[in-house]
Structure 1
Amino acid sequence: MNSLTDRTSVTRRRTPLNRSQIAGFWGAWAGWTLDGMDSFIYALVLTPALTELLPRSGYAATPANVGLAGSILFALFLVGWGLSFIWGPLADRFGRTKVLAGTIFTFAIFTGLAATSHNVWELGIYRFIAGVGIGGEWALAGTYVAEAWPEDRRKMGAGYLQTGYYAGFFLAAALNYTVGVHYGWRAMFLTGAVPVVVAILILLRVKESEKWQKAEARPVRTKPLREIMGPVYRRRTWVACILLTIAIIGLWAGAVYEPSAVIQLATKAGMAKNDAIRTASLATGLLSIATILGCLALPPLAERIGRKKTLAIYFLGMAIAIVGSFGWAFYLPNGLAPFIAWLFVLGFFGGNFALFSLWLPEQFETRVRATAFAFCTSFGRFVGAGVNFLLGAAVLHMHTLGVPVALTALVFIVGLFVIPFAPETKGEVLPQ
């Protein structure tokens, strides 16, 4: 009996993390958190920044011009976000920690420089380059945690890591209520320069992953971008691209239009403008909390039933939640409370992104892992950006945002038919 108890305790005991692994995780998590904060800062300060900068650029700060300039700057940011695939081959060649620090330096410095903008052109350039840095952080952070953490911990590490992005939303909102209200939009952009400290910490305290060091020691040099498009990896690369694109379309559809939907429903319910905005902020917080819970619940489920079945459950949950919120609750006579309740479901299944932090590293060998991760995420961002702009046009054409957003549920149904073509990696160790 005692021997059985001893074996059970040994089985359940997890490999302890060393100081470098702990520092590396918190550096990656903090970078991902500040990445989310940086992304949300732009949404919060867009209107006051453009109201000041448009007249300095020779344009009147009318609502139409603010909206047009905001769309153009958002497009530039998304293009920079998509071009972030350049970090992948660099990380496969020069190491995870150096390049991870480089992505954080890039988005932090150019976010801080945005505070010095004299016109919209300067702001556009700074946001474009910041987007290149922001887009690369997830791929590098996910790759590092997967390689540096012990095999029995790395799956849960993926879930922990993904919570950082949504924690960044809270941080940005808190800064806006304090720093932004008292010191303005330039001070908000200056707070985005704080991640430089995280980058320095990563460079000074975090060791390179042993898996990358072993791969780097091999005499054979590869061209990782060509290899992931070669016969060995081509299918899983494109399947991962499609699945990530679907996830990104759903994320942006829900995240971009959720505040507007809540404000419309709150106004319809008789709330004053300020109260409606506060309600939208609370709803966004609920959505973020639910997404964090979804991220934490996903790794144990993926270990129990497999990666493909887990993603299918989350995709199906997203489809149902999108239809339930934007297709049904949004059109109810008193739809505010039901809509917000559906947002919790939508947020929980939006945690499907944690699966990609866990699953993508398992599908590629060390020598091409960062390149594959960065390429797949960048592809999804480019296509997702295009779909998002089409969605905006549909909202304008149909004069309602409920039905166009609800239709994005269809892409998750398509995803259910794509998932079987992906490899199942449950029970497999991270490939060398």
Structure 2
Amino acid sequence: MGRGGQRPDGEQDMEATNVAFAVLLEDSAEELYDQAPCGYLSTLMDGTIAKINATLLEWLGLSRQQVVGRMRFTDLLTVGGKLYHETHFAPLLQMNGEVGGIALDIKATDGQRMPVLVTSKVKSSDDCEPMLIRTTIFDARDRRAYETELLRGRREAEEARRQAEVDRKRLQEALAVLQQSLLPAELPTVPGLETGSHYHTASPDLLGGDFYDLFPLGADRWAFFLGDVCGKGPQAAAVTSLARYTLRAAALHDPDPVTVLTTLNTVLHERYTGSDPRYCTAVFGVLHPGSDHVGVHLASGGHPSALIQRADGTAHYLPTPDGMLIGALPQAQFTPARTRLSPGDTLLLYTDGLTEARTGPQRELYGEDALRAFTSEQPATGPQALITALTGLLAGFGDGLDDDTALLALGVPAPLPTLTSEDLT
């Protein structure tokens, strides 16, 4: 201490500096509160505004004199905000002492709504009596705009998804109609012959290239064919249509199977030359009904051999080796074959979607041997029964069947059993 109890000059200077620094800190804290990037306000427990910062006043377009002591917090909210405050916000605040991150809208004097996030906390006295409610309000306009844009994007995406699904269904319906136009609506009735057919579409979104038909040639003769065009889609459908009508027209001119397939080869090779070659496999045949059998004369171009189920329960292939793809070369060799169908016999034609199906854990090819074994296990009760059994087989392949499959079965009905006197008694 100095003379007369006075502190030295150095100590007085230090104290003055500390006071000035404290005042500066206080001014800075007050300025931070008033000019903060978010809104601050304090209310009495009944909601009357006791303190509010300049940031929130600017958002509201109000002066401090208009607000402090004259308005309640709920007066700053929209009608919907007031209802939410009374039914949810205030009860939660009373129960928990704080509520955080609640999305509300405040209203400005110009009628504009401003989305905000509100956090409130109760300030209590030393004896735990609630005194004030301190509230922080964050500007949520950018967040609301983002959420609105995100919601709009989701709605647009959902609408696009729904429209795509509608378009897909329409496309599938159109493709189904077009696919049916490439197949006979139903097989004709052939005297003394039973028939059956089935077409499995691997994908409803793509046109398949498998085809078959049965039609009269006159003079009690009937022609049939079954084939498989390379590829899928509109291009394959165009080849299918060309092949069907060429086979029909060629058969009416000269029904010899080798001649018919040769004509188809010439048409396809001339039509699809250059950078986009198209070809197919096919079996074409002619039926010659007799008194107790049906003669079959057929030829194959690169197609799986026909399978015959005999009335005695055996099954074997009708060999047609060395038949070449149709349309791949200007000159092609086709293999003819003949057989007879007696009562109870069935001739089965199929496309390779059946034998190339994948089965088992190792996804092995089903194969021709398995098809022959399966056919021999079926009762020799006619083409339609065999087609029904094969339809069940195809369904059992599940996702292992990834290609279109066409089936055509032609057979001579077995004679009805003769009733004896013992059967009648």
Bin the TM-score by the shorter chain: under 0.3
Q: Greater share of strand residues, 1 or 2? A: 2
In terms of Rg, which structure is larger? 2
Q: Greater share of helix residues, 1 or 2? A: 1
Query: Whose RCO is larger (CA < 8 A, sep 6+)?
Result: 1
